[in-house]
Structure 1
Amino acid sequence: MYAVIKTGGKQYRVCAGQKLKIEQIPADIGQEISLDQVLSVGEGETLKIGAPFVEGAAVKATVLAQGRHDKVKIFKMRRRKHYQKHQGHRQNYTEIRIDAVAA
């Protein structure tokens, strides 16, 4: 059984046992969370699509870690104008393990 969930402005196709890095959510390590914004649920040939969310569907997950992604370096330059700008960014994430998909 798999589901398409929405979290952090992105959509993910998940199934039980999968590890996933999502946008940071306020939760402690080891805490069980429920993701209730389920867009669709499928199993084999059957597919249930929500409008916009599937009624009563939820995905149970466990928080494994909180962390930060690798640094993204931004470099801007205008040739012959003596302009250079260096900038960097590290995005926070929450790593979760999908425990169960309930339709």
Structure 2
Amino acid sequence: MKATIKVQGAQLTVAEGDIVFVNRFKGSNAGDVVEIKDVLMAGEGADVKFGSPVIEGAVVKAKILENKRGDKVVIIKKKRRQGYERRQGHRQELSVLKIESIKA
């Protein structure tokens, strides 16, 4: 069974057993189970349910495998012929989720 969920500001289409990267859940640790109730679509083939905007009573359970930081993104600002150049780095805080069950 597949489901389209809204989690941490992003929409993802997931199936049971998938591993996905999302923005970090505050106050969460590795091994915690998260219930995602913003399920926009669930099912496969002729047995598909669509929500408006979400399906009532639908829940996707995911286990947090680890919390980590993403790859570094370097931001460079430069104005030519002015001697102005700035560099700044950023690493996004991420949670790695494994989808355990989809109930619609």
What interval of TM-score do these two structures reach, taking the shorter chain for normalisation?
Answer: over 0.9
Aligned-pair Cα RMSD in Å: 0.9
Which string of whole-angstrom CA distances, capped at 9 and with x for unpartnered residues, describes residues 6-25 of structure 1?
Answer: 01111000000000111100
Letter in 2 for 1:61: A
Letter in 1 for 2:66: A
Determine the structure 2 residue equivalent to 1:12.
Answer: 12
- Unmatched tracts of structure 1, length 5 or more: none
- Unmatched tracts of structure 2, length 5 or more: none
Q: Is 1:99 the equivalent of 2:76?
A: no
- Aligned ranges for residues 1-103 of structure 1 at < 5 Å? 1-25=1-25, 26-103=27-104
- Give the TM-score taking structure 1 as reference length: 0.95
Alpha-carbon distance between aligned partners in 2 of 1:44 and 1:30, rounded to the nearest angstrom: 33
Deviation at 1:2, TM superposition (A): 0.4
Deviation at 1:46, TM superposition (A): 2.5
Moved over 2 A (4+): none
Alpha-carbon distance between aligned partners in 2 of 1:40 and 1:29, rounded to the nearest angstrom: 27
Alpha-carbon distance between aligned partners in 2 of 1:43 and 1:10, rounded to the nearest angstrom: 21
* Paired residues, number: 103
Using the aligned pairs only, state the percent identity: 39
Deviation at 1:33, TM superposition (A): 1.4
